[in-house]
Structure 1
């Protein structure tokens, strides 16, 4: 009971100590919930039944029972229940049952990350061991040795992989996987909500290719999907898989008691409503739990923030042994390091971990008691996923969301009802994005030739195939389109980003032992790996000595400095084509194709602790061009005639800032997926305009959704400004510190004008 006592003691400190208590905006306690159970299916194989009983499972939760019933009846389905509700059995039961009945039967499991795949393999293998049957379950990823690969291809009943491996290593070499494709009965897609935006659009096309190959080998597999809570799970599952789906949404699992605390850092400048840094408050809160040996996970929004918090926490914990038990976890770390951290969390060796959303997914990392979020994660679904990392196995759990000064964080923290009662966001994908689609048609043609009249899972292709033949990518002969290149196309197509090449990070601190320590996508590298940038890795500081942009290599050396760096990106935008336009009395609302030119310009050096600017420097990198979709709103000159040009510009930039933070609430995307910029005179119409564009080539439907729901977005933006307690405008609403009342008033005026006209459109 020692753990309960110390957790309760700290909760008491938060409630009673002035400097904590005064910052708690909302304390929401979710009571424990009893589970709802059903009897085991009567047709379940006795060996499987016994293995479950040995693990203490004699009945199923209602959602698991329903999943087994649907799978047995040949239905495709998606199960949507919270973290730690036993979703794994929704697919493991029908799959194992089927293989026990027919040993030739095969299943393919897709997980978005390698960590999840490894985790699931351990769980399923434990069950197989307990049954004592000859059932082979293997992971197939980049870490699988060549010797094992052959065994997986020939004898794997359950092949556990990720979309990237399916795309680049399995489908292009399907002739080596005949026994899998001929006998494929189930395709399991876990963590469905992750497949949104550009990644989801890519994966939907990988699934189209997979179905095409299954058809070639004469199989017609069933789809089983599981997801965290989103607003449109059925629609997303159907778009992703191209099949009709049944929905399971009633959760029968029990849940532990959870304390959800909304924490707003203290105001350090009242007139300007500037708050203390969220990072520094997280250090203070996490320190309280870690000093008392309470296992804690801290989530941060960016790689840089993870490393800053990690540095702070290690300084705070004086004991050397304890310092080693606090680790960072994020993309860019090498696989061996990540597995080691996951293991350390499970067996309790690691006391605290600071992570990006890489640990948000269902990897079993043991029984963490506390989850602290540095700022709102960007979506309600993501926040609940992170919260679900605490209290998975025992007793009470504490979740603390520490707000930053950003408008989105302040909106969420001051509207707890929105967070607890609002439907989670809609996940959007666009499998027919031309850039993505053409890439995957090349891959599909390499795998199997297209005949005239063939469709791509129902999509007409004739025009695209003719175009590819004219471009000499495909060879047309005897009513058939063949791939005609030496290399295979999947190798050059990344599912994770719009940019095809990653920048490799090379540590040359020790010339005798130069090594690769990580990698980063090209767009991020412009602002995080430029010359002189401070790159943080596991709390160690490295300075970028040279970024070789042509070769995509960043050379870094270990340093010890008391600052980090932050870079500016200059953006130019031009409208290429207006697809939709509503011309109103005072405002134009448009949607169409745009071209965006982005250039990293200068970087600032920011001191740890005080976060003051202590220097800056130029960035010399070429411009990057992006062709995408955008929604926009243009104000007619007569509408803003009363404002001077300076006031007009300040208000327009502030309105864009508010919209940048509010718009991602409406479409389930990371704020970095949807960019907002203001132009005082837009190139295409000479009017003051705000653009909201997808940060991906060809767009994935985010800005289109914004165009369709613009009234809701503007309503939320106005509410955010009205609810901010500052007098003249501050970083928590309009994004700048203002000494005159006019900027906040003018921003409110512009947004209200835009909203009034949008209201007319809706009616």
Structure 2
């Protein structure tokens, strides 16, 4: 009996498997590269491939591998390979690297026989070739050894970008021998370089290009299957490097042994209420004919354990890194508890958790432990592992029998990467996608065939984001004086370009200075960087765009002294100087400016690592918030309220489909946190009124996409006013008269949330990189021309709305289907409620949202009154 049949036979099974699909088979296609390999490399490849496609003396690879290798070695082009998981993408850059090394006459290459032997034994590495990993875990002694080598430079992992930015580039003189011999820059999993992070990676790669001999340099990129691999790779490398060779036709075999299962938890299948959402029970689909039973346990012969290796990956895109790590540990403990209570308690010790990748540093496992875990998983000593998406990105853990993806990972491309971990190399495997209550998850649980047939999304990245360039320019100048010709690396140079705008901002704020050299103007870093450890590089977070506020805790002087001032800042105010007292502060955290006013305003309750702190001061000039730890748990929490306006600056493009009209252009967002309110945790406590705040407004110019009312019937001002039924207008109790209003702003608010929910179906995007022009009942003015607007939530934009514009009407249709298909009555997290809403989902109407979305498609927005139970929540 296979795994799925076992699950279906359990008494708790009520149709959670809403869809089962078996991957179709595909026959491999082979061809020979036209390049003449070094004899030893050819011997190694023939040995590795013997029994697969190789003949006696003729080297044959998958056709897409041969095409990519020829592009690198024969045509000397930059290359991107975008094919499925397990299709042999890594072989392309490994062959290129070793071919280049074997053709060089280095001292360390004297014994080529040993090189070949090492290649044969390890498949990709060589014993006499010194190969090292340079990342944050590399010891200082090993880094010193790396500086003295002549290797082909090879950057693969996400962590390598951090090392390039903060270590290699600022010390490029010490790494000069390595950098000047750089031949190949390998970028794996390039689909993750998007949004703010992608913009930072673009600048890091351009800084690298500026310091190496570009005549020798080639880029080789590998990607999950995405819609625009060539365009994306060219933006990363730089359009000035010319055309990129794009390889997308996958010619690797697929034996039809992989099975995909979409699994909707019982609480959603049975129609139990979850957060206001009720789901109907769905009929299960039978296992397809010929299902191979991939996880059937067979007695082993001692060469390979007769057991399954299972990967459980948590993908919930709404969670912070700390939350993700906590859930990984919770899942691990649940699995261990279940095994300890079963008939096989000994298996409990063979289930582990794994933390790496983009996990926050304080929660990431040490390097030695991670390497040991990877070896144990590869050798199948470990039966199961729970993790974030770290094992999706470029870490070789061998073949898995089963993967369980908890929540949609944000893109079809990433889900396919995770599914591809099971059943590789012709072995059977099964992959589960467990749907959460998230709108996108439930969208695909409703339409499973659409998920499996869906084309991968586009990837959006903007190399010329002014905010990112402004952060990197002091680093560029620190590494080498900036000259006029350096603008070409950012493929811009006009007076109004992003490069020039960023330069002007840096000069105005004093992070760059001008000098004259040989009758030419050059830019140098501000003098203050010379005295700061790490220079300007340490001030740049490559996963953020904004500036930040520091959060510091005021502590007793004795406490600071007991810690030897580690992590402490000592300062003396004017009053303190008079009395001889010293104020000591311990840095706790850093928060983006756009978030700081919401969580660090005076009077706020700030939570950090399970403790509560009271904000005592917000220093706007120094961008520092001072907090004091609460001795006892507070009886209340705080919530800030803002006033936000989004104004259209320019309309650059528009398109129509029937009556619907969509625009793309530049918009201005301005927001001000105007008040906060204490919410008492006890339901019996008297709720307090809002407390006014005097904080400055903040905002930015960015890129926006908006739909406008095609027929103008929503122009009547009364359609945007709240109407309270009942004598006193108070919040109605359960069963009392309900709140009613026109569909105006309340419906527009819900419709914008629905558009945000479906946005990732078309463009790879992180939710924190998007926003919408939502307003509450106090901010919603009458409008002559109402609209639904979403925009990039970063200064100068991230290219997300630009990438989504061609799909705008498809987005509108999917948003309407999302709201139509949700069986809830008044709105829930699966349709119009958004956990990121700055208005806390007040002033929402599900029926109004549907009227808006249907009206934009049909040209007839019905402005009749409609009900919402509960009205605007406090």
TM-score range, shorter chain: 0.7 to 0.9
Superposed displacement of residue 231, structure 1? 0.2
- 1:232 corresponds to 2:233: no
- The alpha-carbon distance between structure 1 residues 272 and 141, as it changes in their structure 2 partners (threshold 3 A), is closer
8 Å contact from structure 1 (residues 673, 695) kept in 2: yes
Partner of 1:733: 831
- The alpha-carbon distance between structure 1 residues 44 and 398, as it changes in their structure 2 partners (threshold 3 A), is same
SS at match of 1:594: strand
Matches within 5 A, 1:228-307: 228-242=224-238, 243=241, 244-255=243-254, 257-265=257-265, 266=269, 267-269=271-273, 273-274=277-278, 294-301=309-316, 302=319, 303=321, 304-307=323-326
Partner of 2:721: 645
- 1:664 corresponds to 2:751: no
- The alpha-carbon distance between structure 1 residues 64 and 298, as it changes in their structure 2 partners (threshold 3 A), is same
Q: 1:579 aligns with which of 650, 674, 679?
A: 650
- The alpha-carbon distance between structure 1 residues 461 and 181, as it changes in their structure 2 partners (threshold 3 A), is farther
8 Å contact from structure 1 (residues 379, 670) kept in 2: no
Task: Indicate the larger mover: 631-640 or 425-434.
Answer: 631-640
- The alpha-carbon distance between structure 1 residues 105 and 615, as it changes in their structure 2 partners (threshold 3 A), is farther
Deviations 1:442-491 (A, max 9, x none): 32233232334553323106644466456552213121313142323323
For these two proteins, the number of residue pairs brought into alignment is: 695
Superposed displacement of residue 573, structure 1? 2.7
Partner of 1:109: none
Partner of 2:200: 202
Partner of 2:374: 342
Deviations 1:138-187 (A, max 9, x none): 22222222222232122141444412222222223222233233332222
Partner of 1:117: none
- 2:107 & 2:245 partners in 1: Cα distance? 23
8 Å contact from structure 1 (residues 577, 593) kept in 2: yes
- 2:44 & 2:680 partners in 1: Cα distance? 58
Partner of 2:513: 474
Task: Indicate the larger mover: 445-454 or 404-413.
Answer: 445-454
- Normalized per residue, the structure richer in strand is 1
- 1:754 corresponds to 2:851: no
Deviations 1:119-150 (A, max 9, x none): xxx999945765x54x3322222222222223
Partner of 2:65: 64
- The alpha-carbon distance between structure 1 residues 521 and 61, as it changes in their structure 2 partners (threshold 3 A), is farther
SS at match of 1:174: coil
SS at match of 1:43: coil
SS at match of 2:424: coil
8 Å contact from structure 1 (residues 376, 401) kept in 2: yes
8 Å contact from structure 1 (residues 573, 594) kept in 2: no
Task: Indicate the larger mover: 494-503 or 44-53.
Answer: 494-503
Q: 1:310 aligns with which of 307, 323, 329?
A: 329
- 2:63 & 2:462 partners in 1: Cα distance? 33
Matches within 5 A, 1:50-449: 50-53=43-46, 55=48, 58=54, 59-73=60-74, 74-103=76-105, 126-127=122-123, 130=126, 133=128, 135-161=129-155, 162-214=160-212, 217=213, 219-242=215-238, 243=241, 244-255=243-254, 257-265=257-265, 266=269, 267-269=271-273, 273-274=277-278, 294-301=309-316, 302=319, 303=321, 304-308=323-327, 310-315=329-334, 317-318=336-337, 319=340, 325-327=351-353, 329=355, 331-332=359-360, 333-336=363-366, 338-392=370-424, 395-449=427-481
Superposed displacement of residue 733, structure 1? 2.6
Partner of 2:872: none
- 1:105 & 1:437 partners in 2: Cα distance? 41
SS at match of 1:367: coil
SS at match of 2:234: helix
8 Å contact from structure 1 (residues 574, 683) kept in 2: no
- 2:591 & 2:92 partners in 1: Cα distance? 39
Superposed displacement of residue 626, structure 1? 4.8
SS at match of 1:164: helix
8 Å contact from structure 1 (residues 587, 757) kept in 2: no
- 2:382 & 2:552 partners in 1: Cα distance? 27
Partner of 2:811: 713
- 1:123 & 1:626 partners in 2: Cα distance? 56
Deviations 1:563-608 (A, max 9, x none): xx999775543235512176999988563232354869689999xx
Task: Indicate the larger mover: 410-419 or 701-710.
Answer: 701-710
Superposed displacement of residue 381, structure 1? 0.8
- 1:33 & 1:616 partners in 2: Cα distance? 64
- The alpha-carbon distance between structure 1 residues 725 and 501, as it changes in their structure 2 partners (threshold 3 A), is closer
SS at match of 1:274: coil
Partner of 2:21: 28
- 2:456 & 2:193 partners in 1: Cα distance? 15
Q: 1:522 aligns with which of 591, 605, 610?
A: 591
8 Å contact from structure 1 (residues 310, 327) kept in 2: yes
Superposed displacement of residue 373, structure 1? 2.0
- Normalized per residue, the structure richer in helix is 1
Superposed displacement of residue 750, structure 1? 0.9
- 1:718 & 1:659 partners in 2: Cα distance? 9
- 1:45 corresponds to 2:77: no
- 1:124 & 1:596 partners in 2: Cα distance? 61
Of structures 1 and 2, the larger Rg is shown by 2
Superposed displacement of residue 275, structure 1? 5.0
SS at match of 1:211: helix
Deviations 1:171-209 (A, max 9, x none): 232222332333322222211111111111121222222
- 1:374 & 1:147 partners in 2: Cα distance? 41
8 Å contact from structure 1 (residues 675, 695) kept in 2: yes
8 Å contact from structure 1 (residues 449, 483) kept in 2: yes
Partner of 1:485: 526
Deviations 1:624-652 (A, max 9, x none): 94524233445587426485634334322
- 1:322 & 1:598 partners in 2: Cα distance? 55
- 2:275 & 2:470 partners in 1: Cα distance? 54
Q: CA RMSD in A?
A: 4.7
* Structure 2 portions without partners, runs of 5+: 55-59, 109-117, 281-295, 298-306, 530-534, 568-586, 723-740, 835-843, 862-874
- 1:296 & 1:99 partners in 2: Cα distance? 36
Partner of 1:591: 665
Matches within 5 A, 1:477-556: 477=516, 478-486=519-527, 487=529, 488-499=535-546, 522-523=591-592, 533=607, 535=609, 542-543=610-611
Superposed displacement of residue 385, structure 1? 1.6
SS at match of 2:7: helix
Deviations 1:486-525 (A, max 9, x none): 323323212212245698999x9xx999999x99873599
- 1:321 & 1:628 partners in 2: Cα distance? 59
8 Å contact from structure 1 (residues 193, 427) kept in 2: yes
Superposed displacement of residue 80, structure 1? 0.9
* TM-score with structure 1 setting the length: 0.78
